Amino acid sequence: MLKAFTAAFNAPEEAVSYPDVDTRKANHDKGLCMVEAYLDSEHGRMEELPLGVEVQLEEDLPEIPSPVLGYIDLVRPGNVPVDYKTCASTPDVQLEAFQHEVQLTLYQLLIESATDEKVEGRELVFLVKTKKPKIIVHRLPAATDQEKQRVLDIACAAVDGIYHERFHPQPGMHCAWCSYRAQCAKWTGGER
């Protein structure tokens, strides 16, 4: 795994530029430490064979007027979707579970639709990039029918907003990485 990481780092699919050699080496070394931490973790030492890795599923769910496309990092036995997240500090796992509820529940719906089988649970795996990297696994039960309906309602509201071009500001933590932040800051509620 460490050799595969170094090979991928040295020959990325897309060109990556670093300000200097020291930054490149530091990023490589941090990456190696993260891979080692994961391989040493309970999650990394699982002996079970995954059902799928980087699974692409696209389904026309009857409740949503647009296809749903998902790329699931890992599917464990029991049809458990696993999503990996990197973070710079120890996360509040309850907050993260809330923030990623829509994603994990849509993954569950995609798996159930594609397989006609139940999903036994959902997982978030945090790769924490602290000085000494750590791996935090947060296991969630499978979404209930009520939780699934909530996510379907959220998805329908989002699709409806896109179709009708209702793009109103919703400031939050996501603003830090949103590519439309400048346009959002200029929004006045009127015509563009």
**Domain presence at residue 192:** no
Could you report the per-residue pLDDT of 126-137, keeping only the tens digit for each?
999 999 999 999
Do 35 and 60 lie in a common domain?
A: no
**Domain presence at residue 120:** yes
Residues in the chain: 192
**Domain presence at residue 74:** yes
Do 59 and 8 lie in a common domain?
A: no
Our count of domains for the chain comes to 2
**Neighbour-count burial of 159, counting CB atoms closer than 10 A to its CB (0-12 exposed, 13-18 middle, 19+ buried):** middle
Could you report the per-residue pLDDT of 105-147, keeping only the tens digit for each?
999 999 999 999 999 999 999 999 999 999 999 999 999 999 9
Note the pLDDT of residue 14: 86
pLDDT band for 70, please (50, 70, 90 cuts).
Answer: very high
Note the pLDDT of residue 16: 86
Determine which of 30-39, 121-130, 154-163 has the lowest per-residue pLDDT on average: 154-163
Do 31 and 116 lie in a common domain?
A: no
Note the pLDDT of residue 192: 46
Do 15 and 71 lie in a common domain?
A: no
Note the pLDDT of residue 147: 95
- Which phi and psi angles does 9 have, rounded to 5°? -65, -40
**Domain presence at residue 9:** yes
**Domain presence at residue 190:** no
**Domain presence at residue 191:** no
Nearest to 169 by CA among 182, 154, 187, 156: 187
The 3-state DSSP class for residue 70 equals strand
What is the mean pLDDT of the segment spanning 141-166? 91
pLDDT surpasses 80 at 190: no
Residue-averaged pLDDT of the chain = 92
Do 28 and 93 lie in a common domain?
A: no
Q: What b/e readout covers 108-126, taking b as 16+ CB neighbours within 10 angstroms?
A: bbbbbeeeeeebebbbbbb
Which residues form the domain of 14? 1-40
Which neighbouring-strand residues pair with 81? 75
**Contacts with 141 (C-beta within 8 Å, 6 or more apart), sequence order:** 121, 122
pTM of the prediction? 0.85
pLDDT surpasses 70 at 81: yes
